[in-house]
């Protein structure tokens, strides 16, 4: 489990086939001290919870299944790609964002970016089946970053991203049309489920 507060921007340094056909192995450079991170530990990589299978002083390796490559934008990663990293939450840690599970619900895209005061107004587009879980003033994780939705218009929603978040995450380098991993707030899923039961 994670909080959506990014703690490092990592970089893909190597890519190779994984252990199973269709899988892929990524080596990620990081500023995190990997000494206390155990093999088998979870690290959120641009919103996707991945398992450390090998590590060194300033790097770790993960294997991504063909299913995850197809359901996220991890299949777009190349050597040099930058990604948001967050180590898993420990009991007693501050919950600075919202509860994020690292289970990507779908892939959205950046529609536009417009400077607005000291921040940038991002407009994102969500797949139709996820859009109903996105609510104004609710939380959403975009590439692993916990953000608050400002407004919703159909399957598009707007978010203001302050300069600190832009510099501390990969959101400062995104381009219009770029694909992003989305994880909707679990509370929104449960509310929608309850409403469906009430109607039936």
Query: What is the predicted pLDDT for the residue at 171?
Result: 97
195 and 125 in one domain? yes
Is residue 92 assigned to a domain? no
Q: Across-strand partners of 74?
A: none
Is residue 100 assigned to a domain? no
Alpha helices in 36-92 (DSSP H): 66-71
195 and 131 in one domain? yes
Mean pLDDT of the residues in the chain: 91
Query: What is the predicted pLDDT for the residue at 185?
Result: 83
Is residue 94 assigned to a domain? no
Taking alpha carbons only, the member of 139, 143, 152 closest to residue 172 is: 143
Query: What is the predicted pLDDT for the residue at 196?
Result: 63
The residue segments making up the domain with residue 18 are 8-87
- H or E element at residue 193: helix 186-199
Query: What is the predicted pLDDT for the residue at 11?
Result: 98
Residue 137, pLDDT above cutoff 80:
yes
Is residue 23 assigned to a domain? yes
Number of domains forming the structure of the chain: 2
192 and 126 in one domain? yes
Condensed to tens digits (0 to 9), the pLDDT of residues 14-69 reads 999 877 778 999 999 999 999 999 999 999 999 999 999 999 999 999 999 999 99
The pTM of the full predicted model, rounded to 2 decimals, is 0.90
78 and 121 in one domain? no
Q: What is the mean pLDDT of residues 104-111?
A: 96
Percent with pLDDT over 70 in the chain: 90
**What gap in Å lies between CA 19 and CA 65, rounded to an integer?**
9
Q: Which of 52, 87, 122 is the last residue of a domain?
A: 87
Q: What is the mean pLDDT of residues 75-87?
A: 96
Query: What is the predicted pLDDT for the residue at 92?
Result: 60
**What gap in Å lies between CA 96 and CA 130, rounded to an integer?**
24
Is residue 170 assigned to a domain? yes
176 and 121 in one domain? yes
Condensed to tens digits (0 to 9), the pLDDT of residues 171-199 reads 999 999 999 999 998 776 666 666 665 66
Is residue 96 assigned to a domain? no
Strand order in the sheet with 179-184: 145-148, 139-142, 179-184, 106-116, 119-125, 156-162, 151-153
* Cα separation of the two ends of the chain: 32
């Amino acid at each position: 489990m994670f909080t959506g507060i990014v703690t490092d921007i990592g970089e893909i340094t190597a890519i190779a086939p994984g252990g199973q056909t269709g899988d892929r192995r990524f080596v990620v450079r990081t500023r995190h001290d990997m000494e206390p991170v155990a093999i088998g530990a979870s690290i959120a990589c641009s919103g996707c919870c991945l398992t450390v299978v090998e590590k060194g002083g300033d790097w770790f390796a993960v294997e991504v299944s063909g299913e995850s490559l197809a359901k996220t934008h991890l299949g777009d990663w190349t050597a040099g790609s930058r990604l948001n990293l967050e180590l898993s939450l420990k009991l007693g840690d501050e919950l600075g964002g919202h509860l994020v599970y690292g289970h990507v619900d779908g892939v959205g895209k950046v529609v536009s970016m417009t400077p607005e005061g000291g921040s940038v107004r991002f407009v994102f587009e969500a797949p139709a089946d996820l859009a109903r879980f996105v609510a104004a003033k609710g939380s959403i994780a975009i590439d692993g970053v916990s953000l608050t939705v400002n407004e919703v218009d159909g399957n598009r929603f707007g978010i203001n991203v302050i300069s600190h978040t832009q510099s501390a995450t990969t959101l400062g380098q995104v381009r219009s049309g770029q694909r992003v991993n989305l994880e909707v707030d679990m509370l929104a899923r449960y509310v929608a489920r309850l409403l469906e039961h009430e109607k039936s």
